[in-house]
Amino acid sequence: MRRYNAEISFLPAELAEIKRKMLNWSSRFSISLFLDSNSYKDPNGRYECLLGAGAQKTIRKGDPNVFHDLYALWEEEHDWLFGHLCYDLKNELQSHLSSQHTGHYSFSPLQFFVPQVVCSIAFGTSTLIISSLDADPKRIAQEILDGPEVPETELPVLEFQSIHRQDEYLATISKLKEHIREGDCYEITFCNEAYTRVKDLDPRAVYSHLTTRSPTPFAAFYQDETSSMVCASPERFLQKRGSIIRSQPIKGTVKRSADPEQDAHLKASLKESQKERAENVMIVDLVRNDLAICCETGSVEVEELFGLYTYPNVHQMISTISGKLRKDQTFANALQSCFPMGSMTGAPKHRVMQLIDQYERSRRELFSGSVGYIDPEGDFDFNVIIRSLFYESQSGYLSYQTGGAITWGSDPQSEWEELRLKARAMEGIFL
């Protein structure tokens, strides 16, 4: 399919407002995905923001051949693909895995769409690029730029109810530590859902509030049928640039302080924490093993170990692992080799996914899955869906999930406090 392109320049000071207008303009489509770096400097990234809107063609399914079919769609179209991977896609890829809990959202295990319109702003530019299949891209650009100012909409005051109460959460962590003591696993990511119900909520307004409060480099807004996701993720799952596959798992979190001296102390304490470093290196080893499945022998390397990154509410420990994709492997093979991401499972991956379903009380669905894009050249970039809210417009069900990695050295009360620290970013916009 042929695309028609147009470029419109704007003043650097207009960037934030143009992003808001892009997101507002996308509301006319039944499906859209908006990806936003929030101006974080990323030497491996390409886009300040990227929007795919409207579906010209869609693959929506869950079966063992989904990645083969995804690659076949890209090979047929050689066009942009935007979409998601649900955490529960694991059940389709490995028949001995399951999810016993009830879902609340309309997200299929895997969905990708060829967008009718792609809007992008590259890093370091003040140019909005419109790429359209069947409409005048200059007209679309003007519609976005001439759109009304997007006011800050007030959100309702809401109270969330946790699936696990604090005492139940602490007791479960003790049980998980017994599995670790017995050699069943050595790290497991355990999460807790909180939910409420609210009618007529504007998910784009929720996104605006969340990313204003917690701007992050892998933020996303996703709308599909009746379900929406509002995401303020700081974590990259997997990226392909040319032949290089790169993953950047997060393991290690500490709160920020308004006092600069105390904040510096907290950051230093994270860097020196033996527990956090142990959690991080376990996942680094897991990612190295995943990448080794699809990358050339000897090419997998740790580019950065225990990197410290600062966000508005937390400091985080992030490592970067990369490898060179083998010539007999496609981008879809790379995604399948590494999914689901080790930072949201633990290790060994197969056993902890069974334990996650045994001890968690909610279906993860899109949480701890991924959204992202595949470009016409076959490069891609996908995030890890954390720090996210999910909304089902028909039922009014609004929820989020938070958690952390449990190891033998975990203190249950500290794990609960870390969970609550992460939760405040979502709950705080409704106070």
At 142, list the tokens.
Answer: 């003007």
Rounded Cα distance between 187 and 406, Å, is 6
Residue 100 domain-assigned?
yes
For residues 5-24, give the mean pLDDT: 95
Q: Is position 159 annotated as part of the catalytic site?
A: no
Name which of 212, 271, 229, 285 is nearest 401 in CA terms.
Answer: 229
pLDDT bin (cut points 50, 70, 90) of residue 313 is confident
pLDDT mean over 68-76 = 96
Confidence of residue 44 (pLDDT cuts 50, 70, 90): very high
**Phi/psi at 238 (5° precision):** -155, 140
Tally of CB atoms within 10 A around 276: 22
Question: In this model, does residue 13 exceed pLDDT 90?
Answer: yes
Q: Would residue 316 count as lying in a domain?
A: no
Residue 250 lies in a domain: no
**What is the arithmetic mean of pLDDT over 116-129?**
97
**Average pLDDT of span 299-304:** 98
DSSP secondary structure letters along 93-141: HSTT----SPP-S---SEEEEEEEEEEEEETT--EEEEEESSS-HHHHH
d(Cα 400, Cα 55) in Å, to the nearest integer?
A: 27
Question: In the predicted model, what is the mean pLDDT of residues 345-372?
Answer: 97
Q: Does residue 207 belong to any structural domain of this protein?
A: yes
Q: Give the number of domains in the chain.
A: 1
Q: Does the residue 409 lie in any domain?
A: yes
Angle between helix axes 166-181 and 412-427 (nearest 10 degrees) is 130
Measured between its terminal Cα atoms, the distance across the chain in Å is 47
Show Cβ contacts of residue 239 under 8 Å, excluding neighbours closer than 6 positions: 44, 245, 246, 247, 379, 380, 381, 382
Residue 320 lies in a domain: no
**Active-site hit among 235, 360, 392, 418:** 235
Average predicted confidence (pLDDT) for the chain? 95
Strands 110-122, 81-85: pairing is antiparallel
**pLDDT recorded at residue 59:** 95
* The pLDDT value given to residue 11: 94
| Domain assignment of residue 381, yes or no | yes
Expressed as residue numbers, the domain containing 176 is 4-243+354-430
CA distances (Å), 283 to each of 65, 90, 345, 386, 423, in order?
27, 18, 9, 17, 23
CATH number at residue 370: 3.60.120.10
Q: Alpha carbon of 272 to those of 251, 254, 259, 277, 422: distances in Å?
A: 13, 12, 20, 8, 21
Distance CA 300, CA 282 (A): 16
Rounded mean pLDDT, 369-390: 98
Tokens (6 digits) for 345: 């499972």
pLDDT surpassing 80 at residue 149: no
Residue 263 maps to a domain: no
Structure-block tokens of residue 310:
């600062």
**Residue 225: pLDDT band by 50, 70, 90 thresholds?**
confident
pLDDT at 216 over 90: yes
**Predicted local distance difference test score (pLDDT) of residue 371:** 98
Q: Is 235 a catalytic residue?
A: yes
What pLDDT does 151 receive?
76
Share of the chain above pLDDT 90, in %: 94
pLDDT tens for each residue of 388-414: 999 999 999 999 999 999 999 999 999
Catalytic residue among 19, 90, 240, 251: 251
Kindly state the average pLDDT of the residues 225-243.
96
Q: Which residues contact 94 (CB under 8 A, 6 or more apart)?
A: 350
Mean per-residue pLDDT, 282-311: 96
289, 231, 203: which is closest to 84 by C-alpha?
231
The secondary structure of 152-200 as a DSSP string is -PPPPP---EESS-HHHHHHHHHHHHHHHHTTS-SEEEEEEEEEEE-SS
